[in-house]
Amino acid sequence: MARHLVVGNGKLLVNLDNHSYIRDIYFPYVGQLNHVGGQRCRVGVWVEGSFSWLDEPQWEFKLDYIEDSLVTNVTATHRQLELELQINEGIHQREHIFIKRVVVRNLAEYDREIRLFFHQDLMIDGTEVGDTAAYYPQNRTLFHYKRSSYFMFNGCSEEGGIYQYSTGIKRFGSAEGTWRDAEDGVLMGNAIAQGSVDSVISLRAITGAGSDQTFYYWMSIGSNLSEVKELNKYVQESNPEKLLSRIVIYWNHWLKRAGSDFGDLPEEVVRAYKQSLLLVRTQIDERGAILAANDTDILQYNRDHYSYMWPRDGALIADAMSMAGYQSVIAPFFHFCADTLSPEGYLYHKYNPDGTVGSSWHPYIVQGAERLPLQEDETALVLYALWKDYIRHQVIELPQSLHSNLIRKAAHFLSEYIEPSLGLPKPSYDLWEERYGIWTYTVASVYGGLMAASFFTDLFGDYERSDRYRRTADMVKDAMLEHLWDEEHGRFARGLICKDGKWVKDMTLESSLFGIWEFGVLPVQDSRVIRTIAAIRQGLAVRTDVGGIARYTNDYYFQQSGDIERVPGNPWIICTLWVAAFEIDSAKKLEDLDAPRNTLKWVLRHALPSGVLPEQLSPHDGSPLSVAPLTWSHATYVQCVCKYTQKYKSLTGSQA
């Protein structure tokens, strides 16, 4: 499962697979709605009476992006057909327009007619019911629509615009889809179809021996026919070639904030850092939602997806992007959180990109007892990330605008949601959303959130509240050291669970214990932090050729091995990078940076060929598991590179 290539602009997101097929179109929000739903929008080639779709095994692919941009750079070669395709795809930086350029190189020693076929398999608004596909003779395009969602498709070559077209029924009765009509190289020209429909358009050109021809295909999206007609006209008048080049130029300039001094990091690590910034940007809706992942292949496992905004993921991703200098990109996230905060002052499990509450599996009642179905770290980390952003960029207008409707409300909840018998936060679900209790990671995040609230209220002259939040944070810290440190094991417990009315330590080894120093409870040099991370490094290491760090001992999610001694769980990108982050923060000399630098290179070795990072890896062959790209993986890579470059400058400066 993976989306090998993603392009977007904060309003429109398009995912492509390893054959350059569109698999997801999200609009009008990033992550909502999906108008393809994982189906294949095929691309095919006809030459000399032979037809081939690009997902047939004879095609050899190389997947990449044009450097420092969100324009793909794909090469597809078919040796038997003597063809090479150079494919570039991008989304206009401002408008709802997707553009694909295909340069077809004729490797034969004689002239040939080439026809390209582009297949549209839409499920508008997430369902195949009630769609219409029609040819529009006024501008010689083909469009699909339902209610207020319109998609117009067009293309051109040296020979002119659309050569042939057809619409038809798909996946209903015996009808497979109109794409089957393309396989003889000729389209029947059916002008309209309704219900569960698809469509195909073709372009043609004569390609000389050893030369090439360029084909363009584009899609415009809007809320009515007039809007998509205007966008189609804009592409034609502006020239799709010029628009693609402008997309590259825009993202080149966008990346200038990333800086140029990366210490001794290898060029490939720096390139992956910049690509991660771009990929994270595609997953951020301009209205504030930061999406976890938008790979719909996960639907086959539980009929739900990752196209939600988890406030935890969003806060940590926002922190990484702020660290990299992209404060303006993530500022709407904090307003999103303020607008969606519950009346009681906490954030819900997860949200849809439009701000409505997402699906959840946390119950309100368990064994007859009511339970608040929250993950408290999600609320706390938003405050923590907001404070970190402020101290970096000193944009006081942002926290000032959020002071009453986010900071004070959330801080009041955190300061009141305390288990009186322990002085710790009351039970909630852990960051993995799997178990209920009092978790060390959550406690650390609450400390960080309360300290952030104390700093903010102090900043705005509200000294009484500031003192109260700080006192509560100090109490939580003292209780954490008393109840969650385990001297016998020489490390922190994962948390406390209630058994028969008593609080019992859960000593399962957890990678998330990195939060103890990351959120400011203890300094990185504290012996308890050092011993805990040493236990993680030793006990959660995946002892196969793949390597990496697991989430926790005997992790069941996508479990690939029952050999817990060698494979405590699948290696996760974020968990492996958390250990690297500790090594960076604790480094005292340049040689101490060797290990985290190697980890950054390890991540690259386990990226998809396009550079996309998954959530986790198979411990046996390193293949991607779960979703890809995972925004959190890319953001954690960004964070580690930022930490590394800062520490490198610090160490070289101290040695000078």
Q: What is the pLDDT of residues 107-160, one digit of tens each?
A: 999 999 999 999 999 999 999 999 999 999 999 999 999 999 999 999 999 999
Average pLDDT, the chain: 97
**pLDDT reading at 1 higher than 90:** no
Alpha-carbon gap, residue 168 to 193, rounded angstroms: 5
SS in 3 state form for 533-595?
A: HHHHHHHCECCCCCCCEECECCCCCCCCCCCCCCCCCCEEHHHHHHHHHHHHHCCCCHHHHHH
pLDDT digits over 178-231, tens only?
A: 999 999 999 999 999 999 999 999 999 999 999 999 999 999 999 999 999 999
Packing angle, helices 463-483 and 408-416, rounded to 10: 40
| Res 655: pLDDT | 44
Would you state the pLDDT for residue 37? 94
Straight-line distance from the first to the last Cα atom of the chain, in angstroms, rounded to the nearest whole number: 49
Whether the predicted pLDDT of 621 surpasses 50: yes
**Which of 192, 211, 226, 194 lies closest to 103, judged by CA?**
211
| Cα 426 to Cα 371, 372, 438, 440, 526, distances in angstroms | 11, 10, 7, 12, 26
- pLDDT-derived band at 656 (thresholds 50, 70, 90) equals very low
On the question of pLDDT at 432 being above 50, the answer is yes
Q: Is the pLDDT of residue 298 over 90?
A: no
pLDDT of 517 reads: 97
Looking at per-residue pLDDT, the higher value among 202 and 297 belongs to 202
Q: Is the pTM of this model over 0.85?
A: yes
Percent of the chain with pLDDT over 90: 97
- The mean pLDDT of 611-634, rounded to a whole number, is 97
**pLDDT, tens only, 373-387:** 999 999 999 999 999
The rounded distance, in Å, linking the Cα atoms of 656 and 646 is 15
pLDDT at 366: 95
Other C-beta atoms closer than 10 Å to the C-beta of 339 total 13
* Residues 321-372 pLDDT 10s: 999 999 999 999 999 999 999 999 999 999 999 999 999 999 999 999 999 9
- Pick from 288-302, 404-418, 483-497: least confident: 288-302
Q: Specify the pLDDT at position 228.
A: 98
